[in-house]
Amino acid sequence: MTYPTVVSRPADSGERLTYRDIPTPLGDMRLVASAKGLRGAWFTDQDLLPSAEGWLLTHSDPILEQARRELDEWFASRRRGFEVPLDPVGTAFQHQVWQALCDLEFGVLASYGELARRVGRPKGAQAVGGAVGRNPVSIIIPCHRVIGADTSLTGFGGGLPRKQALLAHEGNLYRSRNARARRVCDGQAELPW
């Protein structure tokens, strides 16, 4: 499985950022790119969607086009991993967590505690949750794959209905959109409860 590498570096306030909005089966997304890679991917109705002020709207940026094409393929079940270069801005710890998310295979879920252990902070589940919640590249940095230790959905910046749909796309069934909903395990999908 190929996932892009998350490179840790600070934001450059003088850099040129381009963006475009694309349709997806779960609603429109805004893709943002620097010269080095994809800087962000948010659903356009997300609370954390940054203002596009100062960004250049374009449909000809090669990074944005690659991200659009790969997302289209992913939603069409023709792709399980991403190759678009990434350039998110965050702290060294956030980058460590985002890289650990990219290391999760398609359909594989992890709890905040498991992710904390993967990044060498076994007691840092809450800090990991904060880094996951600040992920600026939805789907490609797969924060939707992080669930509660009891398999509950927990939260998602794009909303629980989208998280449930993303998980279902990867083969993980949740029958409710409640944050406390538990994953339906293999062999239990047809049970009446």
The CATH code of the domain at 92-170 is: 1.10.10.10
What's the confidence (pLDDT) of residue 5?
Answer: 61
Show the CA angle centred on residue 106, arms to residues 102 and 112, nearest 5°: 55
Q: Domain 18-76 classified CATH 3.30.160?
A: yes
Residue extent(s) of CATH 1.10.10.10 domains in the chain: 92-170
**pTM listed for this prediction:** 0.86
What's the confidence (pLDDT) of residue 177?
Answer: 63
Q: Which residues pair with 18 in a beta bridge?
A: 33, 56
The two three-digit tokens of residue 83, written as one number: 């190759």
Residues with a known catalytic role: 143
Mean pLDDT confidence for 63-88? 97
Give the residue among 52, 29, 51, 141 at the shortest CA–CA distance from 94.
141
Residue extent(s) of CATH 3.30.160 domains in the chain: 18-76
CA gyration radius, the chain: 16
Q: Which residue has the higher pLDDT, 84 or 5?
A: 84
Q: How far is CA 157 from the centre of its chain?
A: 9
pLDDT-derived band at 192 (thresholds 50, 70, 90) equals: very low
What's the confidence (pLDDT) of residue 11?
Answer: 55
